[in-house]
Chain A
C-alpha cells in the first residue's frame, strides 16, 4: 500500500512553505543600515520594553526614549557626555540666584500640523508636563511657571535653584508637542511634534513602530536615516538573534551575551549606567535599631566581595565600587572605588564595636530583577552575623513595596546619571528611594552647596563632598558598577548616552558616513 503517497502529501506543503520562505530572503536579512553615500534607508532597532505613551506628560527615559525622540524635538540637545547644546532653544541664561531661566527660541520651526513653535508652545508644554503625573514629572518639580516675553523668548521661574534643570530640558521635560495636540485628547494615537520623523500610519502599537522622515525638519542632516523602525523585544535572546541575522541594526544586550555577540562579528559599545548594592534605608533605626549605627552599615558594605560579584553576575563587564554616583558624572571620586574594601574580619570587628557581635535579623524582599544576587547577599551578611529573611515579591510590586517604607534594607540594581537627579532620588528626605525619609544636617548643608554653586568647578567639588559623605556614612552598600552593553551591526555606528540605557537617536549613523 502506498504510504509513500501520504508521506509525499505531507512533505509537499512543508517544502512549499520552505521554498516560499526562501523566496522572501528580504525578510530575513537586514532591513536597515547604510547603503553608502547619500541618505541611508532604514534604521532598525530592537527595544527592551514597549513604549508607554506618546503623551509628552508621560514620556520616560531609559529604553522609552527611542520611541519619542523621533517625533519630539527637545529644547536643548544633550551630547553623549550629557552636556546641553542649543536645539529648539538657541541660548539660555540664569538670573544670579538661578531661580529664573530665560530661553531664546529658534525661529521658523513649525510642528507637523502647521502650528508654530514659539514661546506660547513652550509654556503650554511645560505646564502640561508639570501637572501630568508621569514617570518623569520629577524633572519639573521645581518649575513654578513660564512667562512669554515675546514669541521667541520665554522665562521659566523656579521654586528654587535646580542644578539639573537645563539638562532636563534635553529629556522628557523639554519635549515639545504641538499645543493643539496637547488638548486634542488624541495625542496618544496622533502625536504631533516638530522632530526629525513622524509616526507612520503603518505602526502597530506593541508590535512595530515605524517613523518616516519629517520633510520640514530644520536639522535633517543630523538624522541620516530616511526611516526608523523600532520593534519591542523583551527578551535578550531574540534581540541577539535579530542582531546576528541583521533584522535589526541595534539592540540592548545582557552582559552575559557580550562575548557571543562579539564572536558573531557584532560591534559593542558600553556605558556605566547602573550601580548594584543595598539601600540601607533605615539609617535612623526605626525598623531595625542596629542600622542606626554607622559601624553596622559599614560592616554591611564590607561583607560582600565586590570583585567576586562583578565577575559572577556580569562576567567582568562590571567595575567594583563603593560609590553610588555615575563614573562619568562630576560627583565621581576615583578613590571611593576602593572604600570599605571586602574584609569579613574587619566587618565583624565593626559589628562587635557597635555592640552587635551576636548579629541581628532583617527582612528584605527578593530581588525579582536579579534573583541571582540574593544568595550572595544572604551568605555575605550571614558571615558577619546578619540573618536575612526574604519576602517573595512579584516583580511588578518590587518598586512600590520597597519605596513604601516597609523594608529596612533592599537590593538596588538601579541607574544613575545626572548627580543632581540622583541626589533628588536617593538622598533628599522626600526622594522616592529614601523611603524612610532619612535626613542629616551635614548632608543637607552639603546638598545646599551643590544647589547654590555658581560655577561648574564649585558644583563639582560640592558634588564630590556629598559623595564622600554618603560613602563615609554608608547610607548605601554599593558593590559594583555594571556596564550597560549595546550591540550594533557593522553597518551602523552609535555612541552611548551618559546615564541612559540606550543611545539617543541622534547618535546613530551609517558606518560609511564620515
Chain B
C-alpha cells in the first residue's frame, strides 16, 4: 500500500510541475502589449516601459518562469496585474466556492447513481429500460441549459431559490444551501447519467456471478447480498467513473458559475484569461492541477481499500 501511494504521489508531483510549465510558455507574449493592456490606451511610451520593468517582463521568459516557480514554492503566487490583489487572496476566496459545488455534485452523483443503478440492476424490466432512457437524456442535456431551466422554474417562476450568487456558510447556512441547490443540480446531470449506467452495469455483472447464487442459496437476504457483497465488488468501476466525472465537474463549474454568477474558480479563470492577467491564470492552473491530483489520489486510495487486489498489484 505504501508503494502504491508513493507511486501515485510521484506521478502527481510530475503533473504539478509539468502543467504550469507548459501553461506559462503558452501564455507568454510581447511584454509591451501586456503593459499597454494594463495601463490603458492613454499610457505614454515611458509609462509602458516603466510598467514592463516593474513587472519584470523585460527579463527572458525562462528567468521569469523560474522566478515565478521559486516564489510559488514559498507560497507566493504574485499579484494580479490589473487589480494588485494577491493571487493567493483571490484563490482563497474562490476555491472553496467551486470545491463546494464540485464536492456536493460528486456526493449527489454517488447517492443518486447508487440508488438508481442498483434499482435498475436488481429490478430489471421496465425500471431498467426507463432508467436507461433517462440516462441518455441526462447525457444529452447541456448542463448550462439545465441551469437556465432550473432558474426559470425555481427562481423566476416559483421564487423559492435564488437565481444568482453565492452566500458563504459563515454568513448563513440556509442561504448558503439555497445558493448551491440549483448549480449543483445543473452540474451533476452528466455525472449522474454516466455513473448510474456504470453502477447498473457493474452491479448486474456481479449479481450474475456464481458466488452470489451461493449466497442466495445459503439464505442471505437480498439487501445483505447487494450491500455487503455485490456493491463492494461493483464499486471499482463506479469509482473510476466518479474520478473522471470529478474532472468533468471541475471544468463544468466554469460554465455553471457563469450561468449563476457564482464567484468561484471558474469565473476567475475566464475573467483572468480574457484580460490576460497571467499571474492569476498561473495561480488558477496550479491550484486546479493540485486539486485534480489530490482528488485522484484519494479515489485511488478508496479503490485500493474497496478492492484489495489492487493494493497487491
**Residue of A with least CB distance to B277:** A396
Q: Which residues of chain B are within 8 angstroms of A206 by Cβ–Cβ distance?
A: 83, 85, 90, 93-94, 263, 268
Complex CA–CA separation, A51 to B276 (angstroms): 16
Which residue of A has the minimal Cβ distance to B54?
A133
Question: Are A133 and B51 in contact, with the CB atoms below 8 A?
Answer: yes
Q: Is A359 an interface residue (CB 8 A)?
A: no
**Which A residues lie within 8 Å of B83 (CB)?**
50-53, 188, 205-206
Which residues on A sit within 8 Å (CB–CB) of B263?
Answer: 204, 206-208, 232
B181 touches A17 (CB 8 A): yes
Which B residues touch A29, using CB under 8 A? Answer: 159
Partner of B258, one of A46, A234, A395: A234
A432 and B177 contact, CB distance less than 8 A: no
| CB-contact partner of A400 in B33, B93, B119, B151, under 8 A | B33
Complex Cα distance A404/B35, Å?
13
> Within 8 Å CB of B90, what residues of A?
205-206
List B83-126 residues whose CB lies under 8 Å from chain A.
Answer: 83-85, 89-90, 93-94, 111-112, 114-115, 118-119, 122-123
A441 to B270 alpha-carbon distance, docked (Å): 46
The proximity string for A residues 119-148 relative to B, scoring 1 for CB distances below 8 Å and 0 otherwise, is 000000000000001111110010000000
Instruction: Say whether A3 contacts B118, CB under 8 Å.
Output: yes
Task: Give A28's nearest chain B residue, CB to CB.
Answer: B162
| A493 close to B (CB within 8 Å) | no
Q: Which residues of A are found within 8 Å of B115, using beta-carbon distances? A: 3, 6-7, 9-10
| Chain B interface, >50% SS class | helix
Give the residue of A25, A51, A141, A238 whose beta carbon is less than 8 angstroms from that of B163.
Answer: A238
- Verify if B222 is at the interface (C-beta below 8 Å from A): yes
| Chain A residues, Cβ within 8 Å of B39 | 133-135
Interchain CB contact under 8 A, A133 and B274: no
A50: chain B residues at CB < 8 Å are: 83, 271
Give Cα A245 to B178, complex, Å: 14
A412 to chain B, nearest CB (A): 12
Chain A residues with CB below 8 A from B167, complex form: 27
B240 CB contacts on chain A under 8 angstroms? none
A138–B42 touching, CB < 8 Å: yes
B221 at the interface (CB under 8 A from A): yes
B47 to chain A, nearest CB (A): 4
A53-B84 in contact (CB<8A): yes
Is B24 engaged at the interface, CB distance under 8 Å to the other chain?
A: no
**Cβ contacts under 8 Å, A22 to chain B:** 160
Which one of B118, B156, B172 lies within 8 Å of A24 (CB-CB)?
B172
Cβ of B175 within 8 Å of any chain A Cβ, yes or no, is yes
Residue on A nearest B224 in the bound complex, by CB: A1
Bound form: Cα–Cα A2–B83 in Å: 57
A27 touches B274 (CB 8 A): no
A137, B40: Cβ atoms closer than 8 Å = yes
- Select from chain A the residue with minimum beta-carbon distance to B42: A138
Chain A residues whose CB sits within 8 angstroms of the CB of B84 once the complex forms: 53, 55, 188
Q: Is the CB of A21 within 8 A of B275?
A: no
Residues of A close to B261: CB separation below 8 A = 46, 231-235, 238-239, 242
Beta-carbon contact of A235 and B258 below 8 Å: yes
Determine the interface band of chain B, counting residues with CB < 8 A from chain A: 35 or more
When distances are taken between beta carbons in the complex, the residues of chain B under 8 Å from A1 are 122, 221-223, 226
Candidates A9, A238, A396, A399; contact of B41 at CB < 8 Å: A399
Chain A contacts for B258, CB-based, 8 A: 234-235, 238
Instruction: Assess the A395–B274 pair: CB atoms within 8 A.
Output: yes
The answer to whether B42 touches A27, judged by C-beta atoms less than 8 angstroms apart, is no
Chain B residues lying within 8 Å of A338, measured Cβ to Cβ, are none
Please tell me if B161 contacts chain A, counting CB pairs below 8 Å: yes
Q: A247 with B162: in contact, given A1-B221, A204-B93, A206-B85 (CB under 8 Å)? A: yes
Q: Does B229 contact A (CB under 8 A)?
A: no
Q: Is the CB of A2 within 8 A of B223?
A: yes
Residue B50 interfacial (CB < 8 Å): yes
Task: Give chain B nearest CB distance to A206 CB in angstroms.
Answer: 6
Q: When the two chains form their complex, are residues A396 and B50 in contact, meaning their CB atoms are under 8 A apart?
A: no
Contact with A along B257-289 (1 / 0, CB 8 A): 011110100011011011110000000000000
Residue A18 at the chain B interface, CB threshold 8 Å: yes
Q: Is B43 an interface residue (CB 8 A)?
A: yes
The A395-445 residues at the B interface (CB cut-off 8 A) are 395-397, 399-401, 403-404, 425, 432-433
Taking CB atoms, residues of chain A closer than 8 Å to B123 are: 3
Q: Which of A21, A233, A432 contacts B164 (CB 8 A)?
A: A233
**Which residues on the A side are within 8 Å of B93 (C-beta)?**
204-207
Query: Which residue of B118, B164, B174, B270 is within 8 Å of A247 (Cβ)?
Result: B164
In angstroms, Cα B261 to Cα A232, docked, is 8
Contact assessment for B33 and A21 in the assembled complex, using a CB-CB cutoff below 8 Å: no
* Min distance, Cβ B226 to any Cβ of chain A, angstroms: 7
| A6 touching B119 in the complex, CB below 8 Å, given contacts A21-B161, A50-B271, A241-B164 | yes
Q: How far is it, in angstroms, between the C-alpha of A389 and the C-alpha of B65 when the chains are bound?
A: 36
A462 to B164, CA, bound (A): 49
Inter-chain contacts of B51 with A (CB < 8 A): 133
B267 contacts A234, C-beta separation under 8 Å: yes
Interface pair B179/A27, CB less than 8 Å apart: yes
B151 / chain A contacts, CB cutoff of 8 Å: 241
Task: Determine the distance from Cα of A243 to Cα of B93 in the docked complex, in whole angstroms.
Answer: 25
Cross-interface CB contact of A21 among B29, B111, B148, B181, cutoff 8 Å: B181
- Decide if B172 touches A27 in the complex (CB within 8 Å): yes
B98 to chain A, nearest CB (A): 13
Is residue B82 within 8 Å, beta carbon to beta carbon, of the partner chain? yes
A: residues with CB less than 8 A from B are 1-3, 6-7, 9-10, 13, 17-18, 20-29, 46, 50-53, 55, 60, 133-138, 141, 188, 204-208, 231-235, 237-239, 241-242, 244-245, 247, 394-397, 399-401, 403-404, 425, 432-433
A-B contact pairs, 21 of them (CB 8 A): A18-B160, A20-B174, A20-B177, A22-B160, A26-B175, A27-B174, A28-B155, A52-B82, A133-B44, A188-B85, A205-B93, A206-B85, A206-B93, A207-B166, A238-B260, A242-B163, A245-B155, A245-B162, A247-B163, A397-B33, A425-B41
Interface positions of B (Cβ within 8 A of A): 29, 33, 36-37, 39-44, 47, 50-51, 82-85, 89-90, 93-94, 111-112, 114-115, 118-119, 122-123, 148, 151, 155-156, 159-167, 172-175, 177-179, 181, 221-223, 226, 258-261, 263, 267-268, 270-271, 273-276
For the complex of A and B, list the 6 residue pairs with the smallest distance between their C-beta atoms, beginning with the closest. A135-B40, A432-B41, A1-B222, A138-B42, A21-B178, A238-B261
